[in-house]
Structure 1
Amino acid sequence: MIKQIPNIITSLNLLCGSVAVLFAVSGDLITASFFVFFGIFFDFFDGLAARVFNAQSDVGLELDSLADMITSGLAPAIVMVQLLSEATLGHPLIITDIFTEDSWNSGLNTYIPFIGLLIAVASAYRLAKFNVDTRQTSSFIGLPTPANALLILSLPLILHFQYFEGIEAVILNPWVLIGLTVFSCVLLNAEIPLFALKFKTWDVKSNLLRYVFIAICLIAVLVLKFIAIPVIIGIYIILSLLSNNK
């Protein structure tokens, strides 16, 4: 039974992601975002549990990728679809509405939101590469899907909890959302080495970069709240590039 603990934690990730998809489809992006956060929380600890209980397995690896595809791939993709729908149509997308007369009157705006689904495609490709890439045992090549999910899901949270004049014009600008979609798809599969928050030991010297990054994250969250998420993703990429150039 102990050997199944990591798979149980991974299954909780999958369950949270599935619930997030349901809320995202219904247009409740805030609840969807929090369930994705819960799923990513479980995703962080399933690998740790596997190492602690020495329970790594091929089944666990595949299950982890399948769970990540739902929680960090499909859920943020649907959130982006709904954001693009808000930006172009003024309301969350209801799939049956695309066959109505009003949808034809809206022209291309009806179909622009589906661009957000590219995030799901890029995430699936990134996860498939990860499973067969022997270079990614202790670090990442390309932005991890959970980090990308956090980047996308920060947008509705900022709009809801940290609304200020002008922010809606930026976040709900269709060109900004399309650009972010394409940018995130590229980042997911770019040949950019990024450090992983995997601690083999706890000594400061070998984990200095990780400790510095965690400290920056804590300070940013306390000061900036949800706005900290895109800032942290940017810092993560910059720190990785700087450490690679040493």
Structure 2
Amino acid sequence: MKKHIPNLITLANLFLGCCAVVSILAGQYMAGFWFILGAVLADYADGLVARLLGVYSDLGKELDSIADMVSFGVAPGAIYYMLLLSASGQEGAEGLQWAAAPGFLVSAFSGYRLAKFNLDDRQTDGFIGLPTPSSTMFAAGLMLIYTLDSYGIGHGVVASPYPLYAIIVLQSYLLIAEVPMFALKFKSLRWAGNEVKFIFAGIAALLLIIIREAAFSAVVALYVIFSVARQLVHRS
């Protein structure tokens, strides 16, 4: 029975991802955010539980990719689609709007990344390219900024489709780029060897307290910067 527990958690990820996509396309952005956050937690929990129970299966690996494709592939594409609809003045329009369709480029490159990840044995202690959950949280952060607008900058950030197009292209590239990025998994709580992770976690927590919903996108951008800087230091 215990071998099925991680798969049940993965199915919860898939379920929450489906709910997130429907909520986002319906304009229920806060509900979509909470569903995405739940999917992220489930995605972290299934691997953790599998390791604690000492169970692993090829079925679980494939199921995880399917769930991630929905929660961290289709969902961010839906976010960008809706943001582009608003930015291009087509909010509420019926049918597919081609001006907003490029938002799903993130979905396509997420699918490529997930397929590549399953075949890449280099990504055991870290990642090569931007992980799909991080990519999704960046998009969700933009959605929160647009929705809550606590600082009066929400509509300014996404007022024009062109900055969004640029973000989509850059994010799609980072998903498949040969850029090493560290994983936030602590094998021990010692400072030595975990310096970057501790510093990053502290700054991320501080940003969440200070700038609230604006922090999610900022934290992911900071994660990319930290990863690149860490790689440059190692090379030097």
Q: Same fold (TM over 0.5)?
A: yes
Map Cα deviations across residues 142-200 of structure 1 (whole Å, 9 max, x no partner): 00000000111111211222344453132231001111111110111111000011223
Partner Cα separation in structure 2 for residue 93 and residue 146 of structure 1: 29
Report Cα offsets for 1:95-128 as digits up to 9, x if no partner.
2xx5xxxxxxxxxxx4111111111100000101
Distance 2:167 2:93 in 1: 19
Instruction: Say whether the 8 Å CA contact 1:82–1:93 is kept in structure 2.
Output: no
Instruction: Give the letter aligned to residue 214 of structure 1.
Output: A
Which residue is equivalent to 1:11?
11
Q: 1:129 to 1:58 in 2, by over 3 A?
A: same
- The 5 Å alignment of 1:135-174 reads 135-174=122-161
| Structure 1 equivalent of residue 75 of structure 2 | 75
Question: Which 10-residue stretch deviates more, 187-196 or 156-165?
Answer: 156-165
Deviation above 4 Å: which 4+ runs of structure 1? none
Q: How far has the Cα of 1:37 moved from its partner?
A: 1.0
Corresponding letter in the other structure for 1:61: K
Counterparts in 2 of 1:1-246, with a 5 A limit?
A: 1-95=1-95, 110-245=97-232, 246=234
Q: Bigger shift: 70-79 or 1-10?
A: 1-10
Q: Is the 1:14–1:39 contact (alpha carbons within 8 Å) kept by the matching residues of 2?
A: yes
Aligned residue for 1:194, secondary structure, equals: strand
Paired positions, count: 233
User: What is aligned with 1:105?
Assistant: none
TM-score by length of 1: 0.89
Q: Distance in 1 between matches of 2:6 and 2:127?
A: 21
Aligned residue type for 1:52 = L
Q: Measure the CA separation in 1 of the matches of 2:4 and 2:94.
A: 39
Distance 2:169 2:85 in 1: 17
Structure 2 letter corresponding to 1:172: A
Structure 1 residue 242: deviation in Å? 2.1
Letter in 1 for 2:2: I
Unaligned 5+ residue runs, structure 2?
none
The 3-state SS of whatever aligns with 1:135 is coil
In structure 1, list runs of 5 or more residues that go unmatched: 99-109
Q: Give distance in 2, aligned partners of 1:79 and 1:92.
A: 15
8 A Cα contact 1:27 1:92, kept in partner = no
Q: 1:196 to 1:35 in 2, by over 3 A?
A: same
Between 162-171 and 220-229, report the one with greater CA deviation: 162-171
- DSSP 3-state at the match of 2:73: helix
Using a 3 Å threshold, how does the CA distance of structure 1 residues 19 and 93 change in structure 2: closer, same or farther? farther
Give the percent of matched residue pairs that are identical in Structure 1 and Structure 2: 35
Higher helix share: 1
Distance 1:4 1:130 in 2: 23
Query: Which letter maps to 1:141?
Result: I
